[in-house]
Chain A
Amino acid sequence: MLFQDIVFWILSVVAVGGALGVVLVPDLFRAALLLILVFMAVAGFFVLLSAEFLAVVQVLIYVGAIAILIIFAVMLTRDVQRGNLPNRLQIPAAVFSALLLAALVTVAVDTQWEFLPAEHQQRVELVQTSAVTTLTGEVLTEEGVTGPEEQAEVREAGLADLLISDYVLPFEAVSVLLLAALIGALVLVRPNPGTGRG
């Protein structure tokens, strides 16, 4: 537990410091690099929360694709010299964000959360690791899940199971959305949108 606490605090400091850097550093390019740092710290949080699959997805998509796209955009727009200036809303925005932060922290601390019952904890942890480990019968027996029905239940549970059963409609909708966004982005960056000629 102690080791996880230390990792949590390090990741928190890196994430919050990096995020402050993203919004406050005048150089946009450095801000984009700090954004990558924040993404990596968030991937670390996912590992701490036993969501290893999401951590890998985070590194692949955010660090590998989104951050690189943003760096490309920063370099291509040549506005780097003017830097990251604030607008007139700076003080109201800071006050509003601070108020929202106070409200969110109060809610997080005050609410009576309904935590997972202790007897489910072990099976839940097995299900959560099922994305990165193969749950064979031997592994499950070692972990104390012995009945054949219980083993089948734990083995069939997982992210993929949810994605193609309960959430199959959002899953398909998101694929159509990605396709539409890709076509939209292609149309937007054509040299002469509207005339139909390239």
Chain B
Amino acid sequence: MSFEGFMIVSAVLFCIGLYGSLARRNVLAVLMSIELMFNAVNITLVAMAKYLAPAALQDDISSVLTGQVFAIFIITVAAAEIALGLGIVFAMYRTHESVDLTEATQLRN
């Protein structure tokens, strides 16, 4: 267990999420992949908060928790994103009778 270990695990999670969000047709699968990417970024931020020295360490010892504060903000924004995202999914399902992204083409041309 080292700092690099955490970075590599979160990089792997992020890239799996990226592949999922680019290559899947179901909106819900894409939303789940985006949540994976959020979690990967959170691991990176918290690992950096634990192992790395912030520039403001001499003035304020609280600054070692900056990464965790950012992770809290990311979790909050993820909650807002999933609420809106699922609202859009339901609106799409009502008009299309499907949640297939390749069928959502009204804005083309």
A178 within 8 A of B: yes
User: Could you tell me if A97 and B19 are in contact, using CB atoms closer than 8 angstroms?
Assistant: yes
A177 within 8 A of B: yes
- Chain B 13-56, CB within 8 Å of chain A: the 1/0 string? 11111111011111011011101100100110011011111000
Out of B24, B71, B81, name the residue touching A54 (CB < 8 Å). B71
The size bracket of the interface on B is 35 or more
Contacts of A19 in B (CB 8 A): 12-13, 16-17, 36
Total count of chain A residues near the partner, CB < 8 A: 97
Q: Given known contacts A45-B6, A162-B65, A193-B91, is B28 in contact with A28 (CB within 8 Å)?
A: yes
User: Could you tell me if A90 and B23 are in contact, using CB atoms closer than 8 angstroms?
Assistant: yes
User: Could you tell me if A61 and B28 are in contact, using CB atoms closer than 8 angstroms?
Assistant: no
Out of A54, A70, A89, A97, name the residue touching B46 (CB < 8 Å). A54
User: Could you tell me if A114 and B29 are in contact, using CB atoms closer than 8 angstroms?
Assistant: no
Chain A CB within 10 Å, residue with most, of B5, B65, B82, B91: B65
A38 within 8 A of B: yes
Instruction: For chain B, residues 61 to 100, give those with C-beta under 8 angstroms from any C-beta of chain A.
Output: 61-66, 68-69, 71-73, 75-84, 86-91, 93, 98-100
Q: Hey, which bits of chain A sit against chain B, CB under 8 A?
A: 1, 4-5, 7-8, 12, 15-16, 19-20, 22-23, 28, 31-32, 35, 38-39, 42, 45-46, 48-51, 53-54, 57-58, 61-62, 65-66, 69-70, 72-74, 76-77, 79, 82-87, 89-90, 92-94, 96-98, 100-101, 104-105, 108-109, 113-117, 120, 123-124, 127-128, 153-154, 156-159, 161-163, 165-167, 170, 174, 177-178, 180-182, 184-189, 193
